[in-house]
Amino acid sequence: MSVRPALLVLADGEVFEGEALGAEPAAGVATGEVVFNTVLTGYQEVISDPSYAGQIVTFTYPHIGNYGATPADDESRRPFVRGVVVRELARRRSSWRSNEDLDAFLRRHAVPGIGGLDTRRLTRHIRDAGAVPGAFGAVGAAADGSTVDEARLRAAAAAEPGTDGVDLVAQVTTAEPYAVGGERSSGRLHVVAYDYGIKTTILRKLGAIATVDVVPAATTAAEVLAREPDGVFLSNGPGDPTTVPYAVDAIRDLLGEVPVFGICLGHQLLATALGGRTEKLPFGHHGGNHPVRNVLTGHVEITSQNHSFAVVDGSAPTAEVTHVNLNDGVVEGIRSTEVPAFSVQHHPEAGPGPHDASYLFAQFADLMASA
């Protein structure tokens, strides 16, 4: 593989040298909000997670791609991530499960990347400065005949709006409803799941406890209730929860009608529907080893996380906090004090990550069965 020198330039002026990998970005330049993820494995699940729409993901683990890629690990129909940053991309895959190497996976899905970069320095910078817009590309002539250099990348980074105030959910949600988990049958629970960027592993978990109808993010409460669900699930998804007021309106109309369970963005939207507020974190939580205390049991759970926004503690008057992040005190779970509804900020489906919080799906099943 020929080496193509590349640069990553952040909107605050920081410059990082590397080499291009994956697909060539449109017009030679990729832009997005630069964040870091600390998982040791599960890079394919991260890249294919729709919650990364609008973002460039930096992997802090130094070797990425060691075990290749397989369709079995895809979390969505295609990646929505803007780009991938790695220290060293494995040149040889080593797993009987893999169908292709990671570079081929990125090329097939038109995902650009940059490797050979000092990800340790980049991560430390993001921790100090917060998530920041950036732009990267191979230096020299692009496929469209234009020229990519530091000045052009600097201008592109400055023009990138990031994820604040942008409805990214509309970019990732399904266009039409579809069913998961087989035919509906007497005695089997039935869940309607909102797709704000839902992951395949979540659908597997829900499919184990119920038949599932997945609906677009803009589906009204009346349309959901017409499907006669035993419960409604609010999925993960990308970006700023304040940009999807239509989702909050639907959730408000569903509360008290059916049990509701939310994860990640779904947690933030449920809290908003209960009167709460959200805020953007400096660099978010993106990793597979965040300690969370279950306030109700006192147990500490190691969790998988991927979010840039969080619920403001104490802002939802009719909800109580059930889980707290032990690293920084961020609200990790709530439940309504008036209706059957609860949510968590972390990812109990663990795709990738630990399975400490997987009991929450059984908890949702019990809530539906007793409603």
Q: Helix, strand, or coil here: 103?
A: helix
Q: CB 243: neighbour CB atoms within 10 A?
A: 17
N residues, the chain: 371
- Span 297-343, pLDDT tens digits: 999 999 999 999 999 999 999 999 999 999 999 999 999 999 999 99
Q: Tell how strand 55-59 and strand 30-37 pair up.
A: parallel
H or E element at residue 29: none
Query: For residue 250, which of 227, 221, 207, 283 has the smallest C-alpha distance?
Result: 221
Has domain 5-159 been given CATH number 3.30.1330.60? no
Note the Cα 148 to chain centre separation in Å. 30
Question: Do residues 321 and 274 touch, judged by C-beta distance below 8 A?
Answer: no
Query: For residue 289, which of 354, 357, 344, 360 has the smallest C-alpha distance?
Result: 354
Q: Which CATH superfamily is domain 169-370 in?
A: Class I glutamine amidotransferase (GATase) domain (3.40.50.880)
Question: Do residues 221 and 193 touch, judged by C-beta distance below 8 A?
Answer: no
Rounded mean pLDDT, 179-195: 81
At 241, is the pLDDT very low, low, confident or very high (cuts 50, 70, 90)? very high
Task: Please give the mean pLDDT across all residues of the chain.
Answer: 95
Residue 298 token pair: 């006192």
Rounded to 10 degrees, the C-alpha dihedral 40/345/135/65 comes to 20
Answer whether 5-159 and 169-370 agree in fold. no
Give the residue numbers marked as catalytic.
264, 347, 349
- Per domain, the residue ranges of the chain are 5-159, 169-370
Query: For residue 262, which of 327, 192, 318 has the smallest C-alpha distance?
Result: 192
Question: CA-to-CA distance for 347 and 351, rounded, in angstroms?
Answer: 8
User: Dihedral sign, CA of 12, 16, 22, 23?
Assistant: positive
Residue 362 has pLDDT above 70, yes or no: yes
Question: Do residues 157 and 135 touch, judged by C-beta distance below 8 A?
Answer: yes
Q: What pLDDT does residue 145 have?
A: 77
pTM for this one?
0.95
- Span 252-295, pLDDT tens digits: 999 999 999 999 999 999 999 999 999 999 999 999 999 999 99
Question: CA-to-CA distance for 210 and 187, rounded, in angstroms?
Answer: 10
